[in-house]
Structure 1
């Protein structure tokens, strides 16, 4: 509490925090405004049943939007199109030389890449909202035969609904950028944080009512242990000592200092989990859209042996595939984002070297070796944290989707990571203004 009081005593920091809170409140208000053409009374009457039974392909998006998706509100698809667009643009920097050049141009290049991300966000939001509206029109979004739209809905109503939801996604993107620019912390991450946090009371009540007080207490104890583990790993880093050689410029001597290169244990953050969650739902999404045209779901090998397991988070097939995908994307994403050869060249350029390691290629090989060892621990940590709730669900704890609840591993990873990052940014701004941190 003393840290919070110290932040509010600083006038500039207080304005940023209040602006951030105002944008989050505005985002949550938009998440409750129904879109035109939606039978909101029907959805409101079944909200509790939907929250406890739904485990469909949009469960992760519904979690990130704070339950706005299943209500088909103005901010139904939330921040997911922007996240997907950002990830795609980052990955394209390795594939497309033009993007790689923009990345090296500094602020101007980053502005151009941000513009590309916005354009791609609009396209993805349009596609995603069109898919959701199509499923809602065919009464497939909330389950077989569940009506979502008004009875007199026509093609113009559907077009209006797609335009409203796409515009809502663009507005959410703008709110996130405003928070990043004028507020405190990363705007997109804080909006996801707000969406997940609003689901905590509802999902906690669902677990309490469906499984009883004993199971609810066990879940809370498990959540506390998970939070402690996530904080411990997220704060963990390998510090590689770096020595800078002495050099004379005129009559002055520069260099000769010792520092360290911090390498986080979880270098990829929560991005591999989001990648894996999106990919594991993709076959189910495509199959659901294709089968929505037929009145009866076909009983074939694909539906019995693939889709049936992918729709069941407690099955061992789902758990194993989810864990493997998280490990794979952990290595893939970090290999794209972190280049040990570029790091070694930068150290060599400024006269830095690791004691006992020759500059240049040997330094790059050593950094790659250390990073691979850290990646093994970080990937295993992400996979275990993400699948633990699914294992608990397999043991009969709760009746909700383990991947789509704020008590799940994915949600806890995001909540704790965003909270730690935001607190660090507040502390750094306090250091700049007061020259002292929270702890003395």
Structure 2
């Protein structure tokens, strides 16, 4: 009889080794940096989301870029790929997609490294120290990317374990510097949000299907599943990156041309101001809906059903099916966006009105992300466990 593959054990052990290597490497400081300039830095939402991906709230470590270049490149390629026709998607090989992601991540890492290096505080600032910092940041990003790619192949959770470790580190640092009184309200909100998010991640809207190839007692179990949280926490993770685009545009315009409106936007278009937070929340809601329609594409789903001869129960094939699926994707994405943005509005209200200390005001956001990633890791481990549990009949 065939022996068990121990798939869960081997993959979990591999991920554990990757985490240990990353944990050791991601706190190596850059050469020639004045580390005293990076003590006691404050945290806002942007810094928290950055630490989730890079694991470094301070831009003074070799791995300060973390896995952000690779994840950003993956998101951009995925969005561009999702916008292509179904035929074009079928003609594109996974190997070609990996080439695009690798090339784009190199470009993003180079650009980020240059910007980081120019903003750093050096013991002796000169061209050599800046170039050395750029190379070290690029090397750190390459190592993080190598660990991530191998964990996707041989571990569990893809990039999630690295982000979870980063977030745990952030939470521990926040807890050790805060009092219980300051943490009471954020933790209570976090508990409620974690319960809501786990429910949305673990449950699906099941649209019953009528399949031409199934005519038995199992036919009633056929359905099209759409998660209550269609794109997970992708919008929240990359919202800060998208938010940087208008900030960069305004910064460039401000450098060459200054008016009252440009000066106002330059000073207030950030997450530490009420105006900037409002813009971010509106952008987050729209971004959630856009990503949901791209990645849970009603057109592709309806065409797949039409080509296979299947249909949604009591819904005609073709455009009515597309409209029906689009209705549910829009509804679920609006609910998902409203929950996330509602949490952001509450946290921002507590922070800007002085009810909660700014250093802990965005803790619910961290716990939302953390609960989502843990759910994804759990579901993947459970899938590997089910596969490992199969026993051959012969």
TM-score above 0.5, yes or no: yes
- Structure 2 partner of 1:35: 30
Deviations along 1:315-336, one digit per CA (max 9) or x if unpaired, are: 2x23321221011111211222
**5+ residue gaps, structure 1:** 1-8, 137-147, 248-252
User: Cα–Cα, structure 1 residues 385 and 105, in superposed 2: closer, same or farther, change >3 Å?
Assistant: farther
Q: Distance in 1 between matches of 2:218 and 2:174?
A: 56
User: Cα–Cα, structure 1 residues 370 and 58, in superposed 2: closer, same or farther, change >3 Å?
Assistant: closer
Judge conservation of contact 1:273–1:326 (CA < 8 Å) in 2: yes
- Structure 2 partner of 1:78: 66
Q: Does 1:174 align with 2:162?
A: no
Query: How many residues are treated as equivalent by the alignment?
Result: 386
User: Cα–Cα, structure 1 residues 269 and 312, in superposed 2: closer, same or farther, change >3 Å?
Assistant: closer
User: Cα–Cα, structure 1 residues 71 and 334, in superposed 2: closer, same or farther, change >3 Å?
Assistant: closer
Judge conservation of contact 2:46–2:240 (CA < 8 Å) in 1: no
Q: Distance in 2 between matches of 1:207 and 1:285?
A: 33
Deviations along 1:75-120, one digit per CA (max 9) or x if unpaired, are: 11111111211111122225667xx7663147xx112111110111
> What are the within-5 Å matches in structure 2 for residues 242-391 of structure 1?
242-245=209-212, 257-258=219-220, 259-284=222-247, 301-302=260-261, 305-313=264-272, 315=274, 317-391=275-349
User: Cα–Cα, structure 1 residues 38 and 290, in superposed 2: closer, same or farther, change >3 Å?
Assistant: farther
- Structure 2 partner of 1:197: 168
User: Cα–Cα, structure 1 residues 371 and 418, in superposed 2: closer, same or farther, change >3 Å?
Assistant: same
SS at match of 1:207: coil
Q: Distance in 2 between matches of 1:272 and 1:56?
A: 14
Q: Does 1:124 align with 2:108?
A: yes
Judge conservation of contact 2:66–2:141 (CA < 8 Å) in 1: yes
Judge conservation of contact 2:54–2:65 (CA < 8 Å) in 1: yes
Judge conservation of contact 1:126–1:166 (CA < 8 Å) in 2: yes
- Report the alpha carbon displacement of residue 235 of structure 1 after superposing the two structures with TM: 2.2
SS at match of 1:198: helix
- Structure 1 partner of 2:358: 399
Q: Distance in 1 between matches of 2:247 and 2:213?
A: 60
- Structure 2 partner of 1:240: 207
Normalising by structure 1, we get a TM-score of: 0.79
User: Cα–Cα, structure 1 residues 10 and 65, in superposed 2: closer, same or farther, change >3 Å?
Assistant: same
Normalising by structure 2, we get a TM-score of: 0.87
- Structure 2 partner of 1:64: 53
Q: Which has the higher contact order (CA 8 A, sep 6+)?
A: 2
